[in-house]
């Protein structure tokens, strides 16, 4: 029998928050919360096993927490008989079961799911209310209003507006400490003997262990390992993770934000993105906790401002870029890059130690920090001319924190410059010298970071591929990039080269890139 007054409230996997808009006016007597484990959400890209465990375990814990608060939850298990495997199929079945008066859902984090939801009303003949996701500082409309009429979008100016509007790190109308940005102080290399604080990890409980077994059974061939799973899957765990970061790592976060170290993927980073993106903690409480650490003298301004900028600035900004430019954004390819993703992105099987380190770390933890993503795997894909869609799907598949709204602009805009500069003012292209400066990867690599050409030198090692790939990238994209004032210096360097050098660099790059293609053919 139809129940016209009841509401079916749909909670998606990355909406496991008591304060999500869907639940704002929940009536415990009449309403039903619907949560659906479905095969399709684990396979539309073949997610890292840890990401699937994280989302399903967080969903199961949240359903339990809702039930403990007296809420009726209709929870669809992945292995329930009759599970159709898709969100829409499960919603239709739930509407037949409950015959609600209306359906309420909060806007999803991916365009793909938004399109699904748009079809729900006509499919189910039930009114569907889609609510704005107010877990962010800026609504989509707020970003659109900021972007409207601006010729160039730059995160820095959006961020300053956010600081003012939300009164974070402000002293009246001025930024605390006098500056908006302390980045110049935040590019230190790690001292060789630094003792690193181990971040708090969370041993899987019975619920998580059951999901781990399920994921091995159903998604066993996906990329990644489960042995070191330690992500927070409940709000209580996420709050402990926040406290652990603020106390033990935030004070040094700024100094070593860009540093990399072999076998140390975490350094002073917060590891909070998986919990933030699921909704276990809110960006507001994270920023306020960091601000309080500064106010009490527990952490310096360069660390606290640098950290808050990542969340109040970058995180909000990339979401605005995504929703403003989709769906066309997914197809952008301003540098017309077409190479297939090298196979070693899935295996880590490469002599380039930096890439090996980052990809192996990704397989073990479903995590790598920002500079590893941007300046190692991203930089290589940019220099090698990997097709944007290939590398973008890779980032969406391999990280525990990956959802299109945040992953896609970071990849297409920041890492591979496929959007022609909507996100970043220049490509983040760098030679081996950058990686050598910011890490300890190079001394033990089978390539020589100090050699520029492909022959062996005194060390018996060949030149670092990042070196000639960097110059070949600039030469090949001269037509598109040479007018960019921020690239004037390297183009002046190329102009000063003796004749024949350009051709030699291109030939070296081609010879190296051909080895990647032939490996792909071998595995095809």
Contact residue for ligand SF4 among 352, 384, 406, 474 (CB under 6 A): 352
SS (H, E, C) 84-128: CCCHHHHHHHHHHHHCEEEEEEECCCCHHHHHHHHCHHHHHCCEE
Looking at the DSSP assignment, which residues form a beta bridge with residue 463?
448
Which does residue 108 bind out of ligand DLZ, ligand SF4, ligand FAD, none, counting CB within 5 to 8 angstroms by kind? ligand DLZ
CA atoms within 13 A on the CB side of 394: 25
Inter-CA distances, 495 with 185, 427, 464, 471, 498, Å: 33, 20, 22, 12, 8
**CB 118, min distance to ligand DLZ, A:** 14
Question: Given the rule CB under 6 A, which of 8-16, 229-237, 343-351, 495-503 is the region that contacts ligand DLZ?
Answer: 8-16
Question: 3-state DSSP call for residue 197?
Answer: coil
Which partner, ligand DLZ, ligand SF4, ligand FAD, none, binds residue 442 by CB below 5 to 8 Å per kind? ligand SF4
Binding range to ligand DLZ, per CB under 6 A, among 21-29, 39-47, 141-149, 504-512: 39-47
Work out how close the CB of 402 gets to ligand FAD at its nearest, in angstroms, rounded to a whole number.
3
449 binds ligand SF4 (CB under 6 A): yes
Alpha carbon 430 to its chain centroid, in Å, reads 21
499's tokens = 């004749």
Residues 370-409 as x/- pattern, contact with ligand DLZ by CB under 6 A: ---------------------------------x------
Report the distance separating Cα 56 and Cα 51, nearest Å.
9
Q: Which is nearer to ligand FAD, 261 or 269 (CB)?
A: 269
How far, in Å, CA of 344 to CA of 384, rounded? Answer: 13
Pairing between β-strand 170-171 and β-strand 174-175 as defined by DSSP bridges: antiparallel
> Is residue 35 a contact partner of residue 77, using CB atoms and an 8 Å limit?
no
Nearer Cβ to ligand SF4, position 353 or 393? 353
74 lies in the binding site for ligand DLZ (CB under 6 A)? no
> What is the closest distance, in whole angstroms, from the C-beta atom of residue 206 to ligand FAD in the complex?
27
Nearest CB to ligand FAD, comparing residues 117 and 374: 374
* Positive or negative: CA dihedral 349, 354, 357, 361: negative
Judge whether 425 and 154 are in contact, CB under 8 Å. yes
Q: Give 35's strand partners.
A: 75
Q: How far is the CB of 276 from ligand FAD (least distance, A)?
A: 5
Whether 439 contacts 354, CB under 8 Å: yes
**Length of the chain (residues):** 524
Spatial distance between the Cα atoms of 386 and 271, rounded to a whole number of angstroms? 28
Least distance from C-beta 283 to ligand FAD, angstroms? 7
Residue of 158, 182, 229, 314 interacting with ligand FAD (CB under 6 A): 314
Residue 9 forms beta bridges with which residues? Answer: 33, 104
- Could you tell which of ligand FAD, ligand SF4, ligand DLZ, none binds residue 329, using a CB distance below 5 to 8 A set by kind? none
Interaction of residue 41 with ligand DLZ, rule CB under 6 A:
yes
Taking CB under 6 A as the binding criterion, the range among 12-20, 134-142, 164-172, 308-316 that sits at the site for ligand DLZ is: 12-20
Residues 465-494 that bind ligand SF4 (CB under 6 A): 465-466
Q: Candidates 7, 9, 16, 47: give the one binding ligand DLZ (CB under 6 A).
A: 47
Q: Are 129 and 105 in contact (CB under 8 A)?
A: yes
CB atoms within 10 A of CB 230: 17
Which 85-114 positions form the footprint of ligand DLZ (CB under 6 A)? 108-110, 113
C-beta contacts of 23-30 below 8 A and 24+ residues apart: 24/131, 26/71, 28/69, 28/70, 28/71, 28/72, 30/3, 30/5, 30/6
Q: Does 38 bind ligand DLZ (CB under 6 A)?
A: yes
Nearer to ligand DLZ, 47 or 353 (CB): 47
User: Is 260 an interacting residue with respect to ligand DLZ (CB under 6 A)?
Assistant: no
Binding to ligand SF4 by residue 435, rule CB under 6 A? yes
Span of 26-34, 405-413, 452-460, 506-514 interacting with ligand FAD by CB under 6 A: 405-413
For tokens 């390297």, the residue is 490
Q: How far is the CB of 88 from ligand DLZ (least distance, A)?
A: 12
Q: Report the sign of the C-alpha dihedral through residues 376, 379, 381, 383, in that order.
A: negative
> Which residue, 125 or 458, has its beta carbon nearer to ligand SF4?
458
Contact status: 430 vs ligand SF4 (CB under 6 A): no
55 contact choice in ligand FAD, ligand SF4, ligand DLZ, none (CB below 5 to 8 Å, kind-dependent): ligand DLZ
Assigned token pair, 81: 């008989």
Among 127, 64, 124, smallest CA distance to 91 is for 124
Q: Which stretch binds ligand SF4 (CB under 6 A): 281-289, 409-417, 434-442, 500-508?
A: 434-442
Locus of tokens 């608060």: 69
Share of the chain residues as helix, strand and coil, in percent rounded to the nearest 5: 50, 10, 40
Q: Which residue number, 106 or 377, has a Cβ lying nearer to ligand SF4?
A: 377
Residues near ligand FAD (CB under 6 A): 269-273, 276-277, 307, 310-311, 314-315, 318, 369-370, 373-374, 378, 395, 399, 401-402, 406-407, 410-411, 414-415
Residues lying near ligand DLZ in the complex (CB under 6 A): 12-14, 36-38, 41-42, 47, 52, 55, 108-110, 113, 403
Q: Which residues bind ligand SF4 (CB under 6 A)?
A: 352-354, 432, 435-436, 441-442, 445, 447, 449, 464-466
């Amino acid at each position: 029998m139809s129940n016209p007054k009841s509401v079916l409230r749909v909670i998606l996997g990355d909406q496991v928050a008591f304060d999500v808009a869907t639940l704002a006016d929940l009536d415990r007597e009449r309403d039903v919360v619907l949560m659906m484990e479905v095969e399709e959400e684990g396979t539309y890209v073949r997610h890292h096993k840890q990401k699937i465990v994280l989302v399903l375990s967080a969903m199961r814990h949240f359903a339990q927490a809702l039930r403990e608060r007296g809420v009726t939850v209709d929870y669809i298990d992945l292995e329930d008989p009759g599970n159709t495997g898709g969100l829409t199929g499960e919603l239709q079945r739930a509407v037949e079961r409950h015959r609600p008066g209306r359906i309420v859902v909060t806007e999803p984090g991916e365009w793909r799911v938004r399109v699904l939801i748009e079809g729900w009303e006509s499919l189910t003949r039930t009114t569907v209310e889609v609510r704005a996701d107010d877990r962010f500082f800026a609504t989509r409309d707020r970003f659109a209003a900021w972007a409207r009429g601006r010729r160039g979008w730059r995160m820095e100016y959006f961020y300053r507006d956010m600081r003012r509007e939300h009164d974070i790190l402000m002293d009246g109308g001025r930024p605390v400490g006098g500056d908006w940005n302390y980045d110049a102080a935040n590019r230190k290399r790690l001292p060789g003997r630094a003792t690193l604080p181990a971040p708090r990890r969370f041993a899987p409980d019975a619920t998580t262990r059951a999901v781990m077994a399920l994921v091995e059974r159903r998604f066993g061939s996906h990329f990644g390992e489960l042995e070191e799973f330690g992500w927070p899957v409940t709000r209580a765990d996420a709050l402990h993770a926040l406290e652990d970061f603020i106390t033990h790592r935030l004070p040094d976060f700024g100094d070593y934000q860009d540093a990399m170290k072999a076998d140390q993927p975490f350094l002073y980073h917060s590891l909070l993105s998986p919990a933030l993106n699921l909704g276990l903690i809110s960006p507001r409480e994270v920023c306020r906790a960091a601000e309080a650490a500064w106010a009490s003298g527990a952490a310096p301004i360069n660390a606290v401002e640098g950290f808050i900028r990542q969340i109040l600035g970058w995180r909000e900004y990339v979401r605005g870029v995504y929703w403003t430019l989709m769906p066309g954004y997914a197809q952008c390819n301003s540098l017309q890059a077409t190479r297939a993703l090298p196979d070693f992105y899935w295996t880590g099987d490469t002599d380039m130690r930096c890439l090996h380190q980052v990809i192996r770390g990704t397989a073990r933890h479903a995590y790598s920090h920002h500079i590893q993503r941007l300046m190692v795997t991203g930089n290589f894909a940019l220099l090698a001319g990997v097709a944007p869609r290939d590398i973008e799907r890779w980032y969406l598949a391999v990280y525990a924190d990956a959802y299109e709204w945040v992953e896609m602009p970071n990849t297409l805009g920041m890492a591979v410059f496929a959007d022609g500069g909507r996100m970043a003012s220049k490509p983040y292209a760098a030679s081996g010298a950058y990686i050598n400066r910011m890490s300890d990867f190079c001394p033990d690599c089978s390539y020589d970071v100090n050699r520029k050409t492909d022959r062996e030198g005194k060390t018996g090692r060949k030149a670092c591929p990042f070196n000639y790939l960097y110059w070949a990238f600039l030469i090949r994209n001269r037509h598109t990039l040479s007018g960019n004032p921020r690239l004037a210096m390297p183009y002046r360097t190329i102009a000063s080269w003796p004749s024949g050098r350009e051709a030699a660099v291109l030939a070296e790059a081609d010879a190296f890139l051909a080895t990647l293609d032939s490996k792909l053919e071998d595995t095809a």
